[in-house]
Amino acid sequence: MHGIHTIDTGFGRPTFDAAYLVVEHGRGAFIDSGTTHSLPRFLEAIQAADLEPKDIDWVILTHVHLDHAGGAGQLMKHLPYAKLAVHPRGARHMIDPSALIAGAAGVYGEEEVRRSYGEIVAVPTERVVEAGDGFVVDLAGRALLCLDTPGHARHHIAIHDDRAQAFFTGDIFGLSYRELDSPGGAFIIPTTSPVQFEPAAAHQSIDRMLGFEPEAMFLTHYGRVTEVARLANDLHEVIDAMVVIAKRHAASADRQQRIETDFADLYVDRAQHQGVTMPREDIICLLKIDIRLNAQGIIVWLDRGAH
């Protein structure tokens, strides 16, 4: 649809982590790069779209978290004419990823970073383009507008595709797993993983995207969703509920566990109210990693005193 091809990057589990290939008049742009392990899937996507690596003009990163950007350096080695567009705050981390690797190791551990993301390599400085707010990627006449969208991370952009009347949202429009689709529609929650979650900014970024009246959102986690206004309202409600939970347990010695427990209850209750029939324990299992990371991220926000 609209020349947009979904790539399952293979990170984590099937239908967990998506990137996209946008094709226009025989030219291509990738949105996000997955991990280094994802490279064969990107090369296969080029072939499946009847393109060659030389036909890819851009790799656009929504932000530099490693499930979105860890494979960028290796991917760029195979795309002889492509430029890499990234938020100005993220550009230096693509040119020298050492701090990015160290930060991820601090959250997940060095062994897990190596296992999950592979070898992370630099992108040559001359191939990196800073995509600040309002930067337009011209893909063979197709305008891909980059908007500064903090809230999940301060180095986050969302990309508006006027042709498709849609956004590629990275993580700022939450996560919505297809296993939790129901007759009530898609189920969505925010992703507040460490270390730059900011609820006020997240609300503003969601509303800014809504101002474009998009027909669909292409999420990294996972795929295309519609009913955009309803999903945005759900995100606003859950962000506010998560903040209330976090503040309630802010002074508790076991706040991580208390917040995780209440997040699990919140997500399961909302999913079941929407019509998800999956058993409670299965919903929690599916969201287990997100519950933990969301709790960790909101604790970082609490400790910054941002509230």
Q: Are residues 198 and 83 in the same domain?
A: yes
* pLDDT tens digits along 253-301: 999 999 999 999 999 999 999 999 999 999 999 999 999 999 999 999 9
Average pLDDT in the chain: 95
Q: Are residues 102 and 207 in the same domain?
A: yes
CA 49 – CA 71 distance, rounded (Å): 20
Q: Are residues 60 and 195 in the same domain?
A: yes
Q: Are residues 162 and 249 in the same domain?
A: no
Residue after which a domain boundary falls, among 191, 225, 259: 225
* CA pseudo-torsion sign 99, 145, 149, 30: negative
Beta 18-24 vs 27-31: how paired, if at all? antiparallel
| Distances from the Cα of 117 to the Cα of 20, 81, 92, 181, 307, angstroms | 18, 25, 19, 28, 33
pLDDT of residue 21: 98
Q: Are residues 162 and 70 in the same domain?
A: yes
Q: Are residues 101 and 162 in the same domain?
A: yes
Q: Is the pLDDT of residue 307 over 70?
A: no
Opening angle at CA 288, ends 236 and 224, nearest 5: 50
pLDDT of residue 306: 46
* pLDDT tens digits along 224-238: 999 999 999 999 999
* pLDDT tens digits along 63-112: 999 999 999 999 999 999 999 999 999 999 999 999 888 877 877 788 88
The DSSP letter of residue 182 is B
Q: Are residues 122 and 196 in the same domain?
A: yes
Closest alpha carbon to 157 in 131, 125, 195, 127: 131
Q: Where are the beta strands (DSSP E) in the chain?
A: 4-8, 18-24, 27-31, 56-60, 83-86, 128-130, 136-139, 142-148, 157-161, 166-170, 216-219, 223-225
Range of the domain at 274: 229-304
Tell me the pTM. 0.94
* pLDDT tens digits along 117-174: 888 999 999 999 999 999 999 999 999 999 999 999 999 999 999 999 999 999 999 9
Residue after which a domain boundary falls, among 198, 225, 252: 225
Q: Are residues 32 and 134 in the same domain?
A: yes
Closest alpha carbon to 147 in 72, 59, 85: 85
pLDDT of residue 103: 78
Q: Are residues 262 and 176 in the same domain?
A: no
pLDDT of residue 255: 97
* Number of separate domains in the chain: 2
